[in-house]
Structure 1
């Protein structure tokens, strides 16, 4: 038989496939490949029999990059089912005889590929079980809230077959289940359920990897199916936004972020998107088509080369084609200057109040104990200490010297550095002098009776010291700034608490802090605030510094180191901040597919241009929310969001972290509701509520939250439920949004937003700082606290199981579940309450507290003893697990609350039971009734 190349139409070539023992026909202009011979003048070229050996000079595809037979097959897809599933194909299907169709990459752009997909899907729907969709993350990753098994795992095939059958669709796999909120009370375990499925079209990804979509703990959307038009989104009333935690901590058992070290970074020439699992390879693999803007780009020469072994590499093993979260080592063109070292300047308040509270002694001891934990790769880290009251105290730490000398600057109106060198020093070289200083700093000022604080001048001095490098200023302040630049006055007025004027107390009192923060941002300086005042400290104003410089605020009201619990909490959190690996001099940008635009940004950063977020440092486990606008009709079957953070590691390496999420599009309103992520929506609403309290009033923020919930419920009622006499007797919402009303209620009752005339402005401002920075994993318990019954928990709770310590089943947070003889744990991620009923039996009190009876027990802040009995050990294990199971540096205090104990403490603990009625806030049932009346009272 003649070689097929002799009878091929012009523009076609044939390549022998060794695996299948047959020719693969390739159109040289487009890279399209097929097993069937092309048609020439209406007559097909003869197909070569698989049994015929190729001629010695079997024709080769005339492109510059060649693939081995296995690679070619993997790229173009197996046509006859003889081999493993192709890269870029759907998940493995059960072995059922069914016609299959060849995936030809060259056709995708012309729309013919979509026709192929539809035919394939119809055949599969008739003859094959449905394909289980995978979620937006790895099946084995840690759950979003706690280590609950089953989070992010795949649905069972049988369930999906049932869903597909009822929906009569092959792609979506989503079914709408309606819940009546009036008859379905909130169940806390609902928050542990997997996210709504992300069901992408077949062949959306070039990789079958389960990591091809970002884990929701890094990046999640409020909708897991994106409406194709803005009118459809508006009809649902659900906000569209991304919640991003780009530098999520990696715990034991987590998969590390893959690192691409060969500095081969493929980016789209037009929109600058980084290559990811959702691009298409065309032209025989020589080019790739961008998933954002469809631009055709050349594959870099060294993309398929292993620079370590100096040999060809398997393209399909590259991390950026298999993982949605990946980090690149940046080449020199990504650097304006050499990577900066980690620089820490400690501004320590040494006024009378700071010394008396024990803050200075605790802080210096913590720094001393954590010197070895400060990131100091290659001994590049640099440190300085500035003490301040109404004057500034600098410390000269000469390298190699065993001691330091103090230099006092009393002129705080024109701050200057008293010495050009030895103030900001290398941590390793000046370690002896630094240790000596930290050991005696508290003693140096122990008789200091100065009252007042020159925090502003101290900040200016720190800025002058490090402005040419950048780094982190860590402020430890125990008094209201009263001297020099940035001086503040006590504006706390109990008369305006709870009134429309209260929001003024949540706004910055002085422009100095915002202006200074923006200067710091330009100089790559981040500021962390640790605040300790027993009186008014104006947290709202001081929190401006971390807000605009991407830092963090910590607040310890009425701190007293003589109480071991206070000292332990601060030392733990401060030590974790010192040891934390941070991203330095970072900029972040989020890109999205055509017709999607980032419209507003929430979180701790400074918006440098329309969509470039400047972050002098990116601490671990800080969250950001970004709202998205649909500008025009989306025609693509799926869209892609990509977050890129260019940064310097604290170990001196310039890197780019890329996080990619692909989501299907839909023109079906029921899919929009079914795909909604209630946790991401609650996270966004928390950010928007806080922003509204600052631009409007607290009451406006509460009204906006309530009205947004009403809008969503009205939209659902109008579009998804049948009208009729029974419609007003129910309050309908999709099953996956069942917990959204109680989350909004928790937000309305949170200290940051709650209606009350009793909340000090500092506490409210700190709560707002938490609401706008906590990742979802910490934010959800903060607005919807966990409530456990310990006295009758199952016997395995508090013991170690497969996933660590087994936690008790959570109860709805309502006092209806409290029992007079019981022991309960209430916690919101920031504080824990151990509630002891007044009829608790003496044996329970003895087993847990080591005391003979309830009457002897004292309420208040405590450290629980570990006693020699199983119940004590189990209770302690549950408390310890609660402190450890979430991401973040926080170490919650534990308070013992007696049922008939101190009223303020009892009311504080009971305020966490958000389904109860408060002084002016409704119970959950009353709240649902209000919603029903509002929804049914409209024109819908």
Structure 2
């Protein structure tokens, strides 16, 4: 068919308007636009233009006030649809795809890890039948409320006037300012069992009004791996939000790791930073230019601001630049190199102080040898590009052992401080040394530490004094204290007593064991935060170690806790796991001396904060270091009616990079507003909601009781379902045989059930306080990508997986199709894999044939197989290689340093191990905890009972 341009008279051009699904006709000489085709155009020809066939080139009339040269980069090859559709929208030619479209449309360019995982989850069962129509088909081609039927097929001419009427009626109704409304699809939870692949889908699309964004870039709105909101259409009033019972919150991972194939965060190096004079918002793709482009209007507060003269200057070529090519107008996530006014002092160097427990238990477990060897092997990976990084090592048992490492020498000397009541530094210099200058002495020392203490029979731990010593070493600069401890602190400040009492486990008093036993650690942590010092805890004890108290240090200093219960390096698996995770932490680039603030459009306020940091003022979060892939949840309150068609959230993190530059990372997210309750539900992001609920449940368990946390989770789910039934279904307030929820929230009940069954929250008298406290630390720090499998594990059948699974495809290793989490899927002759991101279980059925056991374990039969922690051999047969590839992929596909242990579980093996593996199958009944069907029935009874309220 001829293109629109060929059908128009000279001097006219046609532009496709994706939001309204129609053409905009432009007179090229004057820039005049009109919806109706020019009168001289043959009406019959124009009527044949199909609604889904936009022209290949997208033009944007709004930019016509600028010179043609300036706009070239702005137009060139850009994805114009992104203006309306938000991050990662498909190019226009994809809009007419049928429901059988290729699965990759579900994915966003530049996010390789997430895209690959989502694609493999679909490919596992051949055609993506469960997914039905791709997201674009659901949301772009679906008719809007009250809209006219789509265009007639080609070959049925219409009058020009009829065509114009149809143009004017399409897509106008429903959304604010003309954007297409969300389609609400209702699901009956009683007849729709959980589908694991649902969690691999992107959140509901962000549908901004036309011209909300000045950039056609697909990266103009934040990707959910950086920042996501619990609802992608913001209610205009607090009462509407309250009516929906959905929480309003942001889930932020500002320093997300960037893997191969991911879009890099662009860096603005010219130190030209345009900010609003009133609200201090950074310029972004959602501002508007006024006064011929010399001023810009803030998208948050509406203030008119002058544009810095150098904004349109290219300092590299020393000539006028193209503003439309600037990163801050095209990317939602940018990083600025900060000028001097953003510095209180010159950028600090990275400083690492290692506090190594060398008591008898630590040496005997092999922790000291493994830790020192790992540091030695990873010295080249520690961030030190500008050779300013400093390192100190302090060993401790009931005394403190400092090591002096003179630069330029391979010798070191040990200085012992046995007075733990009044800690002092035994030497003013050479204790905290430059990594590059003292490399030889540091390497020699790391090779000798284990030998120095291998005959150490001292039992006891002066952890508190060691922390004070580490703080004194680095307080003038700041940095990271890395603690490796194998026993309960027993000497000096911060000494603790064993308060583990089996009699109170599972009772109302249990939450007391999850609170800090000593005020020393919180007080010390706040002092550290003030001095820009963060603390990472690596805990190894076989006995009670009071993780709940020690985790206070990372919690308030934005560090992280790692726990290796009953660590023994003589088990290769223990040594490999710790060495891998510790090595990744050492190599991790970190943000130093950071502060984070989230700004929002008028009418919105940040009300409460969850995560590892210290709230310095009402909304300023102090983070001495920001590790990669640590997540934070921030609740938002609607304080006044929002009249704008869309709102903007902006997260700014001022920090020093570990490479010696002061920088500002800015993450901008724009979301449409709505006064329609159905759109609020249709835009809800179940993954973000579950992440927030995990944080709130942990907080509630500490401030109240574990039982209160569980009740609050269940009650929140009942409230949401009750509201949906009352407002969105025909049943209204009466009893209903169904349990209805919007399609995009249908995994929320099973995620809440997974949270109720998680070690951090679940009702049990068998969970040790240390394990529970560590699980709670994970629940409040892991990004959503890691948290989802922790709440809803992955379950694969390996013995009969499709032949392509475990082989390398275009997107890497192809994973098997995930199964529902129920033991009904276990087969007595089968081999299954269950994993939650922290542990991998390989379940072997009791009737497994000898050939399968031989191919995977290199053993003659099932009887010869021993259950427990192990490393799987890589054998010379295709099945072994495929199983190993799936396990390896499982360990690598997510962000974060975690390296899950592998446990082989025999169907008739050790009961504790079997129960642990089966506890991951959260759709089954376990102990006092209901099955998924029972849980849904409880919800239905409660919702019907609450129907009159």
TM-score by length of 2: 0.86
d(CA) in 1 for partners of 2:84 and 2:603? 27
Distance across 2 between alignment mates of 1:35 and 1:661 = 30
- Trace 1:804-819 onto structure 2 (pairs within 5 A): 804-819=812-827
Distance 2:708 2:558 in 1: 27
Tell me if 1:147 matches 2:155.
Answer: no
Q: CA deviation at 1:156?
A: 3.7
Which of the numbers 234, 250, 268 marks the counterpart of 2:258?
A: 250
State whether structure 2 residue 629 is matched by structure 1 residue 616.
Answer: no
**Partner SS, residue 690 of structure 2:** helix
Matching residue within 600, 608, 622 for 2:608:
600
Counterpart contact for 1:136–1:198, Cα < 8 Å: no
The question of whether the paired residues in 2 share the 8 Å contact of 1:587 and 1:614 is answered with: yes
Is the CA contact (8 Å cut-off) linking 1:478 and 1:533 kept in structure 2?
Answer: yes
Contact persistence 1:145–1:886 (CA under 8 A): no
- The answer on whether the counterparts of 1:137 and 1:214 sit within 8 Å (CA) in structure 2 is no
1:737 equivalent in alignment to 2:715: no
Equivalent residues of 1:89, 1:207 under 8 A apart: no
1:496 matched to 2:491 = no
The number of equivalent residue pairs is: 844
C-alpha displacement of 1:174: 1.3
Counterpart of 1:415 in 2: which secondary structure? coil
Partner SS, residue 305 of structure 2: strand
Partner of 1:363: 371
Q: 1:795 to 1:485 in 2, by over 3 A?
A: same
SS at match of 1:164: coil
Which residue in the other structure is 1:584 paired with?
Answer: 592
176, 183, 191: which one pairs with 2:184?
Answer: 176
The residue number in structure 1 matching 2:358 is 350
Cα distance in 1, alignment partners of residues 514 and 81 from structure 2: 57
Kept in 1, the 8 Å contact 2:189–2:746? The answer is yes
| Residues 1:474 and 1:85: Cα distance change in structure 2 (over 3 Å) | closer
Q: 1:156 to 1:241 in 2, by over 3 A?
A: closer
Q: Which position in structure 2 is the counterpart of 1:575?
A: 583
Whether 1:263 aligns to 2:271 is yes
What is the DSSP-based 3-state SS (H/G/I as helix, E as strand, rest coil) of the residue aligned with 1:661?
strand
Partner of 1:4 in structure 2?
Answer: none
Partner of 1:825, secondary structure, is strand
Query: Take 2:368 and 2:584, find their aligned partners in 1: how far apart are those partners?
Result: 18
- The structure-2 alpha-carbon separation of the partners of 1:561 and 1:86, relative to structure 1 and needing over 3 Å to count, comes to closer
Q: 1:67: Cα distance to partner?
A: 4.7
> Contact conserved, 1:137 with 1:216, CA < 8 A, in 2?
no
Structure 1 residues 146 and 767: alpha-carbon distance in aligned structure 2, compared to 1, 3 A threshold? farther
Alignment correspondent of 1:765: 773
After superposition, give the CA deviation of every residue in 1:217-246 in whole Å (9 maximum; x if it has no partner): 000000000000000000000000000000
Residue 795, structure 1, aligned to residue 794, structure 2: no
Whether the 8 Å CA contact 2:402–2:414 is kept in 1: the answer is yes
Say which of 677, 687, 707 aligns to 1:699. Answer: 707
**Matched residues in 1 for 2:80 and 2:852: separation?**
60
Q: 1:776 aligns with which of 779, 784, 791?
A: 784
Match of 2:934 among 907, 923, 926: 926
Q: Secondary structure at the match of 2:637?
A: strand
Q: Can you list the C-alpha shifts for 1:88-129, whole angstroms capped at 9, x where unaligned? A: 68899979xxxxxxxxxxxxxxxxxxxxxxxxxxxx9xxxxx
Residue 421 of structure 2 corresponds to 413
Judging changes above 3 Å, is the alpha-carbon distance between structure 1 residues 138 and 276 closer, same or farther for their aligned structure 2 residues?
farther
1-structure distance, mates of 2:835, 2:742: 28
Alpha-carbon distance in structure 2 between the residues aligned to 1:154 and 1:162: 11
1:199 corresponds to? 207
How does the TM-score come out when normalised to structure 1?
Answer: 0.87
| Residue 403 of structure 1: how far off its partner (Å) | 1.0
Alpha carbons of structure 1 residues 143 and 229: separation in structure 2 relative to 1, 3 Å? farther
Does the alignment pair 1:558 with 2:557?
Answer: no
Tell me by how many angstroms 1:713 deviates: 0.3
Candidates 142, 147, 151, aligned match of 1:162? 142
Distance 1:903 1:94, change over 3 A: closer
**Residue 71, structure 1, aligned to residue 70, structure 2:** yes
Match status 1:900 vs 2:908? yes
Task: Map 1:325-724 to 2 at 5 A.
Answer: 325-723=333-731
Q: Deviations over 1:635-661 (max 9, x none)?
A: 000000000000000010000000000
In structure 1, what is the Cα distance between the partners aligned to 2:395 and 2:531?
A: 22
In the alignment, what sits opposite 2:283? 275
Separation (CA, whole Å) in 2 of partners of 1:424 and 1:733: 58
Cα distance in structure 1, aligned partners of 2:375 and 2:918: 37
Q: Does 1:886 align with 2:894?
A: yes
Structure 2, gaps ≥5 residues long: 1-25, 35-63, 96-103, 123-130, 148-172
Distance 1:353-1:665 versus aligned 2 partners, 3 A rule: same
Q: Per the alignment, in what secondary structure is the counterpart of residue 371 of structure 1?
A: coil
Deviates more, 1:86-95 or 1:601-610: 86-95
C-alpha offsets along residues 248-291 of structure 1, whole Å, 9 cap, x if unaligned?
00001001000100000000000000000000000000000000
SS at match of 1:278: coil
**CA apart distance, 1:715:** 0.3
In the superposition, relative to structure 1, how do residues 352 and 608 fare at CA in structure 2: closer, same or farther (>3 Å)?
A: same
SS in 2 for 1:148: helix
Provide runs of 4+ in structure 1 moved above 6 Å.
Answer: 72-75, 83-95, 134-137, 150-154
State the SS of the aligned residue for 1:586. strand
Shift of 1:209: 0.7
* Corresponding position of 1:98: none
Find the residue that maps to 1:639 and give its secondary structure: strand
SS at match of 1:406: strand
What SS is found at the alignment partner of 1:378?
Answer: coil
- Over 3 Å counting, the alpha-carbon distance change for 1:285 and 1:699 in structure 2 is same
1:137–1:213 contact (8 Å) kept in structure 2? no
CA positional deviation for 1:938: 1.5
